[in-house]
Amino acid sequence: MSADTPHVLVVDDEADLRELLVITLGRMKLKATAAESLGAAKDKLNNGHFDLCLTDMNLGDGTGLELLQHISQHRPDMPTAVITAYGNMETATDAMKLGAYDFISKPVALDRLRQLIEDGLGISHVEEHQEEENNLIGEAPAMQALKSQVKKLSRSQAPIYISGESGSGKERIARLIHTLGPRRDKPFVAVNCGAIPSELMESEFFGHRKGAFTGAVEDRKGLFREADGGTLFLDEVADLPLHMQVKLLRAIQEKSVRPVGEAREFQVNLRILCATHKDLAREMNEGRFRQDLFYRLNVIEAHVPPLRERKEDIPALVDHILKRLSQAWDTSAPRVSDQAMAAIRDYPFPGNVRELENTLERAMTLCEGAVIETENLHLQGQSQPGSTSSEGVSTGSVPERDSTQPLEDFLQDIERQEILKALEATHWNRTAAAKKLGMTFRSLRYRLKKLELDREDDDGE
């Protein structure tokens, strides 16, 4: 074998299993070295280079967990997988919390073992994607800790539970974990569990055969098979009904799914990430979320801090968002006045980064010229004195929000009202309305399309 051939350390106190693993690795054109005990494994790690480690839990003079602790201290960049007794999920969970990227249960299935090895070698050859990492804006201590955690989690295959308030960026963190990991070239499939009707969930997740039920006019693969090889992100996982939680747990444990109306199962190899704005532990304690599924999904938790806990990041976020919006609108980014920036920093942002994005997008639409002022922000609860622009468009005062109305809808209603005022004042001449609103014609056209106010038969002149 060449010097570039990956080198795998196999640690097991059972001679037969050691031999099976070494033979399997040899057939995969990999170099293998075996160790029969914890002491022997440590000695080989201290005196050689390895690209991957496979270890059993019982090592005679110690345990696989002790070996994982040694590796995390001395060889933290080396991927390690563990071999556990069948059904011993508690041990597997402990191993992944200590840094194991995955596990395999006895008796060892050769196809599953090959996949485990390929996944591990993929991790060892992951290149640093510094550009994607830098796209996570924020220098606050909580964000620095999250960046470091994301980098570590991207190397693992363990299920991750991403906690955080609505709008804090949980899906963004999930995508970043996927992008920085060995599955980055495979699909990332995101699904909002609360948006799927209960009666269609099994079909959506696992697929169905044509004719399996009324309306099944063609075969469907389902989300698990669509994400095969990549990552499945279950957003708002706490909204899953109990009957679906049972089926989801089995699919995750068995790594296989059976489409509705299908007699056979299909093997899937994917990573599960999940998130919810609810307190998942409380949901479990109150009987709305299964305990076994909770411990299967919550192997490692990543918490996304709310915006109010990292206010020092707001200027950088504002700059980033305005630049992105200006590129989409094909216009120059406006400047935020000192008074407006102070108002933004003082606002608690219950909707977090998503609310900040919506606020700035609306402010770009309503601002005069190239400067966003405080009255353009329409921040709920802050005084917004009525004013009349030099072009004759009244900004007025902010209406009261109905407590049942989603914040995003409330903000869009304000924006819609201001644009409609300008359009009505100019008899729907969009060029003139854009001038009154202090934006380019292209920007107004973009906003009209997003707010579904565009008139197909209006030439805008």
Per residue in 234-252, pLDDT (tens digit) is 999 999 999 999 999 999 8
Q: Is 233 helix (H, G, I), strand (E, B) or coil?
A: strand
The H or E element containing residue 295 is: helix 291-297
What order of strands is seen across the sheet that includes strand 231-235? 188-192, 231-235, 271-276, 160-163, 300-303
Q: Residue 336: is its pLDDT beyond 50?
A: yes
Q: Is 189 helix (H, G, I), strand (E, B) or coil?
A: strand
420-451 pLDDT per residue, tens: 888 888 878 888 887 777 677 777 777 787 77
How far is residue 82's CA from residue 85's CA, in Å, rounded to a whole number? 10
**Which residues of the chain does CATH 3.40.50.2300 include?**
7-124
Q: Flag the least confident range among 157-171, 214-228, 429-443.
A: 429-443
The H or E element containing residue 39 is: helix 38-47
CATH number at 130-305: 3.40.50.300
**Cβ–Cβ < 8 Å for 96, 103:** yes
| Average pLDDT score, the chain | 85
Q: Which CATH class, in words, describes the domain spanning 7-124?
A: alpha beta
CATH number at 310-450: 1.10.8.60
Q: Flag the least confident range among 10-14, 42-46, 368-372, 377-381.
A: 377-381
**Which residues of the chain does CATH 3.40.50.300 include?**
130-305
Q: Residue 105: is its pLDDT beyond 80?
A: yes
Q: Is 79 helix (H, G, I), strand (E, B) or coil?
A: coil
How far is residue 113's CA from residue 266's CA, in Å, rounded to a whole number? 17
Q: Phi/psi class of residue 120: alpha, beta or left (left: φ > 0; alpha: ψ in -120 to 50)?
A: alpha
